[in-house]
Structure 1
Amino acid sequence: MSSEAVLTVRLVRSFEHRNFKPVVFRGVDLNQTVEEFIAHVRKVVSSKDGLPPPFKKFGYDTLKIIHQAHGAKTNELVMSLDDDDKLILRQGTTLKSSGVGHETELAFFRNEDYERFKANPKTSW
C-alpha cells in the first residue's frame, strides 16, 4: 500500500451556518505526523488562490475523519458529531496510524467551536 495519498480537507469556519470549503491535497505522505500535516495545511491555505480571506486566517486546530473512500457517508451536512475518540486525529501519531488512507476526507476546524456546537447542535441559515 502506497504511503502517498490524495486527501480532501474540509475547512470548517462555522458549524451553525454550515460554512466550509473543501481543499484537495495530492501526494500526501501518510507517514508524517498529524502536527506536520496540520502545519502543511495551514501554510497552503494561508496562500491559496480562490479561498476567501476569512478561510485563510481562521484558527483551525483539529482534524477529524469525515469518511474513508468506499465507506458510508454521514447524513450530517458538515460532519458527524459521533465517534470523536476514534475519528479525531491525535497529536503525536502519524496520519496512517490514525486511520487516514488514500481518498480520506477530513474536517479541519477550531475545536472550541466544535465543542460549543456539539453541546447545542442547532444550525441557522
Structure 2
Amino acid sequence: MLFAPPAPMSGGATVTVRLVRSFEHRNFRPVVYRGVSLHQTAQEFLEFVKKDVALRNDLPPPFRRHTYDTMKIIHHPHGSKTNDLVISLEDDEKLILRPERTLREAGVAHETELALFYDADYRRYKENPVSVW
C-alpha cells in the first residue's frame, strides 16, 4: 500500500494533470486542479478536465483543441518518478484509470500527477518509443 498524505482541510485533493499533445515531440503542459473530489469517477473527472481545458485562455489553442480520452497515473506523492520525460510506458493495467472506478479506488491521492492523452497516440508511441527531437 502506498502512503498518501491526507487531503488539505478544504475538503479536496490537489491533482496535477499533464496534458500530452505529442509523445514523440515531448509536447505537454501541466494544469493544476485544487479541491478535486476523489469520490467522483474517473470518467466524471475526465469530462470535467476536457471541458475546462477547452475553455482555458492560458493554454495554446493546439492543447485546447486536442482530442483527449485517457488518463494514467504518472506519479504518486512521495513515490519515485519515471525516467521517461513524458510518461512511463509500463504498468498500464494498474495505472490507466478505468472510467467506472472512483479516483480514490484507482489510486489517486492528494498531490498525484496524472497524464491526459489520446489513447491511439499512446499505443502508437508505445510500439515505437522514439523521440523526434
Pick the TM interval, shorter chain: over 0.9
Corresponding position of 1:32: 40
Q: Distance in 1 between matches of 2:57 and 2:109?
A: 26
> Residues of 1 paired with 2:95 and 2:12: CA distance?
20
Amino acid at match of 2:39: N
CA distance, structure 2, for counterparts of residue 4 and residue 84 of structure 1: 26
CA distance in structure 1 between the partners assigned to 2:12 and 2:106 by the alignment: 15
Q: Which residue of 1 aligns with 2:3?
A: none
Alpha-carbon deviation of 1:43? 1.1
* Alignment partner, residue 117 of structure 1: 125
Q: Aligned to 2:51, what secondary structure does the other structure show?
A: helix
- Structural mapping, 1:1-125, within 5 Å: 1-2=6-7, 4-125=12-133
State how far apart, in whole Å, the 1-side matches of 2:12 and 2:92 are.
25
Question: Aligned equivalents of 2:86 and 2:72: distance in 1?
Answer: 11
Question: What RMSD over aligned residues (CA atoms) do the two structures have, in Å?
Answer: 0.9
| Secondary structure at 1:72 match in 2 | coil
Question: For this pair of structures, how many residues does the alignment match?
Answer: 125
Q: Segments of 4+ in structure 1 off by > 6 A?
A: none
Amino acid at match of 1:79: I
Percent identity over paired residues: 59
> Can you give the 5+ residue segments of structure 1 that lack an aligned partner in the other structure?
none
Instruction: State the secondary structure of the residue aligned to 2:83.
Output: coil
| TM-score normalised by structure 1 residue count | 0.97
- Normalising by structure 2, what TM-score? 0.91
Question: How far off its partner does 1:91 sit?
Answer: 1.3
